[in-house]
Amino acid sequence: MHRILRLGVRKVAVSGMHPLGCLPPTTSRYSYNQCNDTLNDFVDRHNNELNQAVTKLNQQVKHHSTFLVFDFYDSFISVMNHPSKIKEKFRPCCDGISTEYLCGSVENNVKKYKICEHPESTFFWDGVHPSQAAWYAVYQNLQATSAFQQIRH
Confidence band for 152, pLDDT divided at 50, 70 and 90: low
Q: Which of 95, 77, 94 is nearest to 132 (CA)?
A: 94
Does residue 138 carry a pLDDT above 90? yes
Round to whole Å and give the CA distance between 16 and 68.
10
Average pLDDT score over the chain: 91
* Mean pLDDT value across residues 13-21: 94
* Top-confidence range, 5-9, 62-66, 76-80: 76-80
Which sign does the torsion angle of CA 71, 68, 15, 51 carry?
A: negative
State how far the alpha carbon of 64 is from the alpha carbons of 8, 25, 48, 143, 147, in Å: 16, 38, 17, 19, 11
Q: What is the pLDDT, as a whole number, of residue 153?
A: 62
63 pLDDT exceeds 70? Answer: no
Residue 72 has phi, psi (to 5 degrees) of -65, -30
Spatial separation of the C-alpha atoms in residues 138 and 118, rounded to whole Å: 19
Q: Residues 147, 149, 152, 153: what is their CA dihedral angle, to the nearest 10 degrees?
A: -110
- In the predicted model, what is the mean pLDDT of residues 73-102? 93
Which residue stretches of the chain are H helix? 2-6, 24-27, 37-60, 72-81, 132-143, 146-152
State whether the Cα torsion 21-129-87-13 is positive or negative. Answer: positive
**pLDDT computed for residue 64 by the predictor:** 56
**pLDDT for residue 100:** 94
